[in-house]
Amino acid sequence: MSNTNIEFSGTSLRAVMDALGALTFAMSRQLNADQKDGLASDLSRLAKDAQNNGNAELEMLLLDLHQKARTGGGAVRPISVDGGAAGSAADLVQPL
């Protein structure tokens, strides 16, 4: 069995974000259209709550997951070397 301890870094954070995106994508593929819309709407609401609470990192992650749930994929958002998100969350908001 390989070592499951992963050192925290920008690269490991990106891997976690990619894994969550893949999980959201795979899960949404198993849902019917109404359920997929519900999942995407829930993620959008959670992102709005994170924004209202000043948690930009969580907001951006939830917006990425919302996009994966809504569209079944989407581009991977760049991340800076220090693990912080590049750009601002407001730049990523898409109309529902």
Q: What is the pLDDT of residues 68-92, one digit of tens each?
A: 998 865 444 444 444 454 444 444 4
Q: What is the pLDDT of residues 25-66, one digit of tens each?
A: 999 989 999 999 999 999 999 999 999 999 999 999 999 999
Does 51 map to a domain?
yes
Q: Which residue has the tokens 């920008």?
A: 10
Distance of alpha carbon 22 from alpha carbon 24, whole angstroms = 5
**Core vs surface per residue 27-51: b (16+ CB within 10 A) or e:** ebeeeeeeebeebbeebbebbeebb
Does 17 map to a domain?
no
Q: How many structural domains are present in the chain? A: 1
User: What's the domain range around 53?
Assistant: 32-74
Does 44 map to a domain?
yes
Q: pTM higher than 0.75, yes or no?
A: no
